[in-house]
């Protein structure tokens, strides 16, 4: 009963054609082919994503931190243009003035006014 011969296959094909109609058969085959292509592309994409994720985890796991290089200062840059240099000088003068005021306030003790 499990073996289908050519006559049984022909009978099944005729029944399918009668049920669905000869005009709809090509459309059904076309849509089935599209569905299969979509499924194939999606499974291929999922496999690629899995491989990418596996490579990323192995890459981070296998990389060892390099020994720390001695800290180096960046090379000295040429002097700033005149306008920028003057701005720096102005700011430095303001800082010096504020520090002087702070030192004067701390050096001279504040005397509270006497209320008699």
Report pLDDT for 66: 56
Percentage of the chain lying above the pLDDT 90 cut: 19
pLDDT at 39: 94
For residue 9, the enclosing domain spans 1-60
Instruction: Calculate the dihedral angle through the C-alpha atoms of 46, 48, 54, 57, rounding to the nearest 10 degrees.
Output: -100
CA 74 to chain centroid, in Å, comes to 30
Indicate whether 94 belongs to any domain.
no
Which pLDDT belongs to residue 106? 79
Residue 73's Cβ-count burial label (10 Å; 0-12, 13-18, 19+) is exposed
Number of separate domains in the chain: 1
Q: Is residue 51 part of a domain?
A: yes
**What pLDDT does 53 receive?**
83
Q: What is the pTM of this model?
A: 0.35
For residue 16, what are the contacts with CB-CB under 8 A and spacing of at least 6? Answer: 25
Q: Is the dihedral of CA 88, 89, 92, 97 positive or negative?
A: negative
> For residue range 27-65, what is the model confidence (pLDDT) as tens digits?
888 998 999 999 999 999 998 888 888 887 776 655 555
In a domain, 44, yes or no: yes
């Amino acid at each position: 009963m499990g073996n289908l011969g050519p006559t049984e296959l022909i009978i099944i094909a005729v029944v399918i054609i009668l049920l669905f109609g000869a005009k709809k058969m090509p459309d059904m085959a076309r849509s089935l082919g599209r569905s299969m292509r979509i499924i194939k592309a999606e499974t291929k994409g999922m496999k690629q994503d899995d491989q990418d994720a596996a490579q990323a985890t192995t890459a981070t796991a296998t990389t060892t931190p390099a020994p720390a290089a001695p800290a180096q200062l960046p090379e000295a840059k040429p002097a700033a243009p005149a306008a920028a240099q003057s701005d720096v000088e102005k700011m430095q003068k303001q800082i010096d003035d504020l520090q002087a005021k702070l030192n004067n306030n701390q050096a001279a003790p504040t005397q509270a006014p006497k209320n008699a």
